[in-house]
């Protein structure tokens, strides 16, 4: 049985599904959801092992895409436009390549359909330090993470996934052990031949190295209609660093696909 996904709904119109990145939740794309809700039916989904969605032992790209497909069926969405940031972008690409008839258009934010080397050791160490023993406050959680994670913005992002339990202690809302066990699988490339021939927009952070020039050939082989936009002056969290520019790029692309 597929894992049950949590989602929130804003607006009315053609359906758009928003998918967050690793360690995040649907709330991370709240600014974009609000900017689109005047003309689209916007679904913000928590991926398996994230947010308020169910937990799963097997949560690689294929399993996550299947969970999303089951969620679409449950909500009566025959097809929808998908937007995914980072891990969410990989899940969106996996679904588009495997079930192109279910994807009206696709926006991929700062990720490519390639395998990535491990680069979250410090994050997992910080998350583990918080989970190792009862944590009485967000400040205490931040202090523990500061021993492992040097970027204050990353710590603040991770703190959004803390929840307070019935004993008054703080713990991670996401399935930390599940994310750790599936880390190699979500770093991998989508394992489908494609191509997806619908309209696709890749958005790259100008200071991010997640999308490189060497990826272009592979991107175009899988997504022959793809276009690429670069957002200068921002890194991997482009939607949070320059939300007005990001929201505008996404909105204009989706408007162009609407009847």
- What number of H helices and E strands is found in the chain? 11, 9
Return the residue matching tokens 């994807």: 103
Which one of the listed residues 35, 44, 86, 208 is annotated catalytic? 86
86 is catalytic: yes
Q: Is the dihedral of CA 245, 241, 212, 182 positive or negative?
A: negative
Point out which residues pair with 201 in neighbouring strands: 107, 227
> Is residue 160 within 8 Å of 132, Cβ to Cβ?
no
75 is catalytic: no
Which one of the listed residues 120, 236, 239, 242 is annotated catalytic? 236
Copy the structure tokens of residue 242. 């320059």
Task: Quote the longest CA-to-CA distance of the chain.
Answer: 54
Cα–Cα nearest to 139, from 130, 151, 149: 130
Residues annotated as part of the active site: 86, 236
């Amino acid at each position: 049985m597929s894992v049950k996904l949590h989602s929130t709904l804003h607006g009315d119109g053609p359906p758009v599904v928003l998918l967050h990145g690793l360690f995040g939740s649907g709330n991370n794309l709240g600014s974009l959801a609000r900017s689109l809700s005047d003309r689209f039916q916007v679904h913000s989904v928590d991926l398996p092992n994230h947010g308020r969605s169910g937990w799963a032992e097997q949560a690689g790209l294929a399993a996550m895409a299947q969970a999303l497909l089951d969620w679409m069926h449950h909500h009566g969405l025959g097809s929808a436009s998908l937007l995914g940031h980072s891990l969410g972008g990989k899940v969106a690409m996996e679904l588009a390549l495997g079930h192109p008839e279910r994807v009206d258009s696709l926006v991929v934010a700062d990720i490519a359909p390639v395998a990535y080397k491990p680069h979250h050791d410090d994050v997992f160490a910080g998350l583990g330090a918080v989970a190792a023993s009862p944590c009485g406050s967000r400040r205490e959680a931040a202090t523990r993470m500061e021993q492992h994670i040097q970027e204050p913005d990353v710590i603040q992002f991770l703190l959004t996934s803390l929840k307070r339990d019935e004993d008054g202690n703080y713990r991670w809302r996401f399935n930390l052990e599940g994310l750790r066990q599936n880390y190699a699988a979500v770093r991998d490339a989508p394992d489908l031949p494609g191509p997806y021939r619908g309209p696709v927009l890749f958005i790259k952070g100008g200071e991010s190295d997640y999308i490189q020039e060497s990826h272009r050939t592979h991107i175009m082989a899988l997504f022959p209609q793809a276009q690429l936009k670069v957002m200068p002056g921002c890194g991997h969290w482009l939607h949070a660093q320059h939300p007005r520019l990001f929201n505008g790029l996404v909105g204009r692309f989706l408007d162009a696909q609407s009847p």
